[in-house]
Structures are given as C-alpha cells and as structure tokens.
Amino acid sequence: MLSRIVTGDETCVSHVTPESKQQSMDWRHTHSPVRVKAKQTLSQRKIMASLFWDRHGVLMVDFMQLGTTINAVAYGQTLRKLRKAIQNKRRGILTEGILLHHDNARPHTAAQTRALLDSFG
C-alpha cells in the first residue's frame, strides 16, 4: 500500500542566480588589485513550486509562472502533469490506483478538482 501513496506540497522559493567560480574568474595582471565581489542577496521575487513525491523519490516539481496563483484550474493543470509524470516514472502504478495525500486547501477540495481526480480513477 505504501508504494501507491503520492504526496504533494506547495511552497514559495526565492529566485537566486549565483555566480559560479568559473564565471567569477577573470584574467588580470599579477600586480592589478583584487576584484571585490558584492555580497549576494536573495531576490525579492519568489516563485511558487509544487513538489510531488512517493516513497521511491521525487515524481515532479512544477513551477508556476510569476504573478499567478493556485486555483482549481491551475491545480487541475498541475494534476494532469503529475499523472503524465507518474505514467513515465512509475509504470503500472496508475492501473493499481494511487492515493494522493494533500491538504484541504480550497484548490485541492474544489468540485472541479474532485471531478478531475474522479475521472482519473
């Protein structure tokens, strides 16, 4: 039974583009002053990420576009992507049926979401 449980969660993650060591290296004369790097700070922008996993590992990470929120329509699109990810990564598990473990947030309990999940079986 445990192999059929899929868990999902949403969180906001900060958008960071760190500079790699290779990018920060540059050619300079041995007597030239050392370049001072500015302190890196997290961006003020945050992106909504939905993560789904089972006991074997991560099934899917879905990033929402900036400025969008999770509603029943957006959550339905995410669930369709999740179904395809399960078909690709865990062959045969959909025929056995899966248990989706998520909280009772409005998009998760909306009639449209429940109808979609029922159509998946």
Domain assignment present for residue 34? The answer is no
Is residue 38 in a domain?
no
Whether 77 is covered by a domain: the verdict is yes
- Per-residue pLDDT band for 32 (boundaries 50, 70, 90) equals confident
Q: Which residues, other chains included, contact 90 with Cβ-Cβ below 8 Å and sequence gap of 6+?
A: 54, 56, 59
Query: How many domains does the chain contain in total?
Result: 1
We report the CATH number of the domain holding residue 73 as 3.30.420.10
The number of C-alpha atoms within 13 Å of 14 and in the hemisphere containing its C-beta is: 8
Q: How confident is the model at residue 3 (pLDDT cuts 50, 70, 90)?
A: low
pLDDT of residue 111: 94
pLDDT score, position 1:
46
In terms of residue numbers, what domain contains 60?
A: 5-14+43-119
Task: Give the tens place of pLDDT for each residue, 55-112.
Answer: 889 999 998 887 788 899 999 999 999 999 999 998 888 877 888 888 888 988 999 9
Reduced to 3 states (helix: H, G, I; strand: E, B; else coil), residue 83 is helix
Whole-model pTM: value is 0.69
In a domain, residue 93? The reply is yes
Q: Is residue 26 part of a domain?
A: no
Instruction: Indicate the average pLDDT of the chain.
Output: 80
Query: Does residue 64 contact residue 48 with C-beta atoms inside 8 Å?
Result: yes
More confident residue, 33 or 79: 79
Q: Is 70 part of any domain?
A: yes
Compute the distance between CA of residue 64 and CA of residue 68 in angstroms, rounded to an integer: 7
20 falls within a domain: no
